Structure 1
Amino acid sequence: MTRTAVITGIGVVAPGGIGTKAFWALLTEGRTATRPISAFDASRFRSRIAAECDFEGELNGLTAEESGRLDRAAQFALVCADEAVVDGGLDPGALDPYRLGVTIGSAVGATIGLENEYLTVSAGARDWVVDPAKAAPQLYEYLVPSSFAAEVAWRCGAQGPVATISTGCTSGLDAIGHAAGLIESGEADVMLAGATDAPISPITVACFDAIKATSPDNDDAARASRPFDRTRNGFVLGEGAAVFVVEEAESARRRGAHVYCAVSGFATRANAYHMTGLKPDGRELAEAIDVALRRASLPGDRVGYVNAHGSGTKQNDRHETAAVKRSLGAHAYRVPVSSIKSMIGHSLGAIGSLEVAACALALEHQVVPPTANLHERDPECDLDYVPNVARETGLDTVLTVGSGFGGFQTAVVLTREPV
């Protein structure tokens, strides 16, 4: 019997609102959550804007101990997992724990926890020889990104496959693809899968300042993220998380679960070319799209919406536009394409899972979210990018793609019904 992975529960922490309903409302209203950084004094940086989450762990179901011990990204993951389990009507305690697994993606792990602890043990970066006696007991948990998956597994009692996926900005897509593969192969029946990142910290901002990847439009934060626009000049850093209940379709049907969509195709490729550079022809991303569609047994003209990586850098948007044309041919000019990074920024490893959440909700509500801040057409980006206003349309198949530093390229095909 063919096994198919479906999504039956969604949990979201995102800029502009906590929870799936707030996330979807922001996207469909075309509102932006980008603003001046408030998490620290960013006055000395080139890019001083970000899409921050208004989040406090204890106000979102965490205990005081969890809020004090866990890195911000780990807190995001737990809150999302809790929402996904409730949304999916799942009772983890009633499941065989060896058939329940977890995959959590993250690009930069516990960046905030590590940076803060370094300042503590080095007397504010003054001392080369640090004092380990000043370190928090959980410092090791900040060092290893696998702690995120472990925390979620402990939360739900998962004793099946548990893994952390770290492939840069495609981590969130790859975590879901990996989970779907485990369902299809029979190694698990239910997975909690998604990604989390909380990278808004001095070290991260400095990293992207160094390569001038982020937008310097500090005086116009709300419109700084403008993918596919002729005037775009870099991405806006974000943070957040999304976690899903991914389970075998027949099992979901038997328990009467609501199915948002099926994970019908997944593929990932690398360009073996450059850490940050992209070839303009989009060949490697097109290859990932082609393979994902082939695994879904669907032709390109069945795609009703492309959720773009759409980071807002000059080269990414050109590369991605070329890849969609290469894979979908003439249909590329008929299919709506949009980037939610225009509204919630780029949360690195987490963004792929947030984009899957947007796609699942687009299929659920038959609405394509817009690309905000798109006002000036770029001749090199000549597809239908759904400028500024959400669009109601019939949707059966959605393609979401991601591109990450290191040359990672991923495509995921979601369908309303298993194919």
Structure 2
Amino acid sequence: MTARRVVITGIEVLAPGGVGVDAFWDLISNGRTATRGITFFDASTFRSRVAAEIDFDPEEHGLSPQEIRRMDRAAQLAVTAARGAVRDSGIELADTDPYRVGVTVGSAVGATMSLDQEYRVVSDSGRLSLVDHTYAVPHLYNFLVPSSFSAEVAWAVDAQGPNTVVSTGCTSGIDSVGYAADLIREGSADVMIAGSSDAPISPITLACFDAIKATTPRDDDPATASRPFDGTRNGFVLGEGTAVFVMEELERARARGAHIYAEVAGYASRSNAYHMTGLRPDGAEMAEAIRVALDEARMNPEQIDYINAHGSGTKQNDRHETSAFKRSLGRHAYETPVSSIKSMVGHSLGAIGSIEIAASVLAMRHSVVPPTANLHTPDPECDLDYVPLTAREQRTDAVLTVGSGFGGFQSAMVLARPERTVT
């Protein structure tokens, strides 16, 4: 029996620097940065005071006053993106069996902004050790459980099939799409609305990353603060955002005349079982995820035209994945362009994996490899082709995109043009 192939037929992205796919691509293909000083709250007491924020007005994007009150910002982003992806795909969900339409949403930190805000209210800004629940909003429970994100998306598109939240830290965005592809391949669904969303720019998140010094203290120059693979890098820049996709079985998509962006050709996830924040320097577990993803895609390393790196801008991560690329792709790693869009849109934790999938798909669509911004000073231990500063025109038929998350999570996905020959 021939395996069911899974393709992406709709995309929507809400990312720093612009809302929508066109604005997102314009930013990253031109090497501009959307990192700035934090404006959401007074961050003057924090070590790291830069972030990549979205200029997003939920009312302007069609959310009702009730939806806005009920949903955390991350859920608002996810619902807006889901509706946009469905429009982009041209799919008529009303003509589709709703039990065959599923949802997967990835999120690392859930409704952080709302929980942070509501704690300040019920504790009277921390003055009450025993909080007063009478001041809580009626929907406080929705902020506690990340499953509210996928429920909101399902309600927005009337999807009554499999419904799941995937929360694997910073690989959530890749893992949610990979899981959605698996559900279609195994026949549990015909259509999946899949992606991820996080809006973590809040005092509690800044405090957490300040404590472990993971974020950059380069507050005097926010536009150049995110420097993946650069020898002067000193931590990542926190971001927010979402990307959501409509995914379908290939023949079904062809039968309805859908525009097909790319095939989800291979996916794998591994764990290092080693340390909550530390990484083994040899990159073995990421390399293994890459190897398995390539095997599932029935591709060899030489067929990869571009690597969309995790590229967080921390010393250990950039060296770790550089080692993983060499270990898994061999000599071809030195011949393959690699870049990190986190240099431009920051690190939106669980959302970034889906945003990077969108960037990978658009790189194929436009035959352009987006650059790594702010890369001026090469690190001798990061000695691959990281496409510094300026985008590169190049036909791209297959992209490897990877993610690395606290807890040792390592994920890899291969995206390819669907017209490729599969044996």
TM range (shorter): over 0.9
2-structure distance, mates of 1:94, 1:156? 12
Equivalence for 1:386: 387
Q: Is the 8 A contact 1:371 1:386 kept in 2?
A: yes
Counterpart secondary structure, 1:123: coil
- Measured against aligned partners, the alpha-carbon deviations of 1:75-132 in whole angstroms (never above 9, x if no partner) come to 0001100110000001211110110000000000000011111111111111111111
Amino acid at match of 1:85: V
Counterpart secondary structure, 2:221: helix
**Could you tell me how far 1:412 is from its partner in structure 2?**
0.2
* Structure 1 residues not aligned, in runs of 5+: none
1-structure distance, mates of 2:72, 2:3? 39
Equivalence for 1:199: 200
Residue 143 in 1 paired to residue 122 in 2? no
Q: Is the 8 A contact 1:93 1:156 kept in 2?
A: no
2-structure distance, mates of 1:324, 1:23? 26
State TM-score, norm by structure 1: 0.99
Counterpart secondary structure, 1:218: coil
Counterpart secondary structure, 2:289: helix
2-structure distance, mates of 1:362, 1:25? 12
Equivalence for 1:40: 41
- How do 1:43-62 residues align onto structure 2 when only pairs under 5 Å count? 43-62=44-63
Amino acid at match of 2:155: W
2-structure distance, mates of 1:158, 1:173? 21
Residue 120 in 1 paired to residue 121 in 2? yes
Counterpart secondary structure, 1:55: coil
Amino acid at match of 2:66: E
Equivalence for 1:103: 104
Residue 17 in 1 paired to residue 21 in 2? no
Counterpart secondary structure, 1:353: helix
**Could you tell me how far 1:69 is from its partner in structure 2?**
2.0
- Measured against aligned partners, the alpha-carbon deviations of 1:171-208 in whole angstroms (never above 9, x if no partner) come to 00000000000000000000000000000000000000
Equivalence for 2:285: 284
2-structure distance, mates of 1:176, 1:61? 25
2-structure distance, mates of 1:64, 1:370? 39
Amino acid at match of 1:125: G
Q: Which range moves more in the overlay, 124-133 or 220-229?
A: 124-133
Residue 403 in 1 paired to residue 404 in 2? yes
Amino acid at match of 2:242: A
2-structure distance, mates of 1:224, 1:366? 28
2-structure distance, mates of 1:85, 1:264? 21
Equivalence for 2:80: 79
Amino acid at match of 1:338: S
2-structure distance, mates of 1:165, 1:396? 28
Counterpart secondary structure, 1:59: coil
Equivalence for 2:295: 294
**Could you tell me how far 1:2 is from its partner in structure 2?**
2.0
**Could you tell me how far 1:134 is from its partner in structure 2?**
1.0
Counterpart secondary structure, 2:179: helix
**Could you tell me how far 1:355 is from its partner in structure 2?**
0.1
Counterpart secondary structure, 1:400: strand
Q: Segments of 4+ in structure 1 off by > 4 A?
A: none
Matched-pair identity in %:
66
Superposed CA RMSD in Å reads 0.7
1-structure distance, mates of 2:280, 2:125? 42
1-structure distance, mates of 2:64, 2:178? 31
2-structure distance, mates of 1:377, 1:124? 45
Paired residue total? 419
Residue 172 in 1 paired to residue 201 in 2? no
